[in-house]
Each structure stands twice: as C-alpha cells, then as structure tokens.
Amino acid sequence: MARILVAMSGGVDSSVAAALLQEQGHEVIGGFMQVFDYSKGCDDDFGSCCSPQDCADARRVAEILDFPFYTFNMEEVFKKKVIDYFIAEYLKGRTPNPCIYCNSALKFEYLLQKAVSFGADYIATGHYAITEQHETTVLKRGVDSTKDQSYFLFNLAPEQLKKILFPLGGFTKTEIREMARKYQLPIAEKEESQEICFVPDDDYGAFIEKNVEPKDIKKGNMKTEDGKVLCKHDGIHRFTIGQRKGLGVAMGYPAYVTKIDAESGDVIIGKKEGLYTTKLTVENLNFLDEKYLQKTNFDALVQIRYRSQARAGKVVLDEQGTAEVTLEEEVLSVTPGQAAVFYEEDRVIGGGWIVK
C-alpha cells in the first residue's frame, strides 16, 4: 500500500477520493490549498471553491475519516502564476482558462513537491479522469461523459502524470454522491461550484478593473464587420468571442462579438454565421504521448472547450511547434486563449492554446 497526499477542496469529489483510497488500505494525508484571501470583499458562503468554508468542510471530512490534514498557504504564488495570467490574457483580448493553467503551473507541481516532503508516493485529486500504465502513463477520459475532466489535464508533464492518481475516473457523479452518503460525509449534498474561484460574483470585468491601473485598460470602438463605428466601449477585457449579452447595441438581428483587435481596441460585431470556422492555430503545445513529437501531422479528435463535443480533424505541425488544425466540420466560437485538446478515441494525446 502507498502513502498518498490527496488534494482536498472541501467538495464531494475530493472527499470521496480520499475515502476510497483509505478504504483500499492506503495511508491518506489531506491537503487544502488556500489560494486567495477571501476576507478582501466576499463572505465564506458565496459558493466557489477554496473558501474558508471549504477548508472547514475538508478538515471535517479528514476528522471523520481519521487521517492527517494540512492547509497550504499559496496566496502569493497563486496570484503571480494564475491571477496575473488571467488578467493579462483578458487585457490582450483573449479568454483564458485559469483552471488548466492552475493545474499545470501551480497545483500539481506544488503538490508533488509537498508529497516528497511528506514521504508520499503519489498525489490524488477528485478529477474525473483515468490513468493507465502501459509503456508510458496514459491519460484517458473518465467514464462519466457529463463529468469528464481530462480536458483540464492535457498540459501536465508526462513525469507528473506518473505520480498522480484519479480515483473517481471509473465512476459516475451519481455513484460518487451515493458513496459520500455511505461514508456519512457531511458534504454529501454539497452543491458544486460553477465559478472561477477568485471571481466570486462572476464579474470578470469588474475584477480586472479593480486589479489594474486605468492606463492598462484598452478602450476602443465597437464596429460592424464592414467597419461602421457603432459606439465606444469601456475595454476589450469585457468581451469574448461569441458573446451576445451585454453588448449595448441594437442591430435589428441577434448580434455577437466575432473579433477582438487588441492593438486597436476594436470589438467587431456581426451575425452568428461569422462565428463558424473549420480552422484554428494552436501554440505552446504539450504532448503526453512522445511519439507525436516526431510527427509532422496526424489525425485527432479536437475539443476546443470543456463542454464541447470533440470534432475530427487534421493537425499539422511546423518547425516552430505551432499546430494548424483543420476540422472536418464547422465549429462555433473558436476563442483565442482557450485550450484545444487532441484525443485518440478517449485517450489524451496533448494539446495547446488557441491563438487564432
């Protein structure tokens, strides 16, 4: 049996992950990552993860299951590596995915270091994903297609993946809820968070404006696709490709953001038809299967956002490590700043960040 450091968020999934590992005979250590100072403007119960209430919930689960529990203060490094990245991306007219970046740049890297200090063999989380040991460690989709979180994990390093366990990958969310009740955990009926953990009211624009200088805000014009100026806007950080609500313009037809020009500050408004494409460019690639590093092109299933369906496509790599992706059918609202993840059936090949 192994000693395992479990990343506990205070929610149902990570709590059951810890309980399952303990039931299997492993020595479990619980760890909660405090990443944000919630005393600066929000209460304990706003519904996001990593709040003081979540920490208390995780600690209570550890007490009930009787294993050691520690809180790791990561506020400073979280701000530098995740919050600052989040803000910088929006200021460039892109729409970031901080959860993916947090996983690879902070969460797993930090926890693996902590695991060594505790003499642990592995770390574990409540992600719905599966790892299998073949010649290398293979990352696959979780069996619950409505909860699969392999998309968020594409950016892990292969050597990290060898030391990470995902105990929930073979179960459905319904089964995990039932297990939480069986273990008599107080979080069995706790609702899931749907928000970015450090933006509790889900108002990205206000959060960014609160954390940057006014000179950093890129204001400009809202224009039609043929160049007609409609009005001024208060900053490109308040828009994302495919956005329909909150545009403040009446066009006589359903209007969407179809382009954001970070240089000029122009936000282009058009019809939904202008959001469909079969082509995207992906940079900063990471491959979990090293054989793909040797290829110049390959076929893959491509997923462009967490909740979207993966589409068949061709991936062509250039000498600079950029991927030009052509999909077999059109997709809606390909958004710079988001991740494109490549699959071989249910196996994660790798992926990268959409730039156009």
Cα dist from 59 to 111, 188, 200, whole Å: 17, 15, 22
- Cα separation, 29 vs 101, whole angstroms: 25
Beta strands in the chain (DSSP E): 3-7, 27-34, 69-73, 122-124, 129-133, 137-141, 164-165, 220-224, 229-233, 256-260, 267-270, 276-287, 297-303, 311-317, 323-332, 339-344, 347-354
Which of 50, 99, 197, 231 is catalytic? The answer is 197
Which residues lie closer than 8 Å to 201 by C-beta, 6 or more apart? 42, 46
Query: In the structure, how many helices (H) and strands (E) does the chain have?
Result: 9, 17
The answer to whether residue 99 is catalytic is no
- Cα separation, 327 vs 305, whole angstroms: 14
The answer to whether residue 42 is catalytic is no
- Cα separation, 232 vs 249, whole angstroms: 10
Which residues lie closer than 8 Å to 107 by C-beta, 6 or more apart? 7, 33
Which residues lie closer than 8 Å to 135 by C-beta, 6 or more apart? none
b vs e for 159-172, b when ≥16 Cβ sit within 10 Å of the residue's Cβ?
A: ebbebbbbbbbebb
In sequence order, the β-bridge partners of residue 112 are none
Cα-based torsion angle of the residue sequence 112, 113, 116, 117 in order, rounded to the nearest 10 degrees: -140
Three-state SS at 141 = strand
- Cα separation, 3 vs 25, whole angstroms: 10
Cα dist from 80 to 36, 47, 87, whole Å: 12, 24, 11
Which of 50, 55, 102, 231 is catalytic? The answer is 102
Three-state SS at 244 = coil
Active site residues: 102, 197
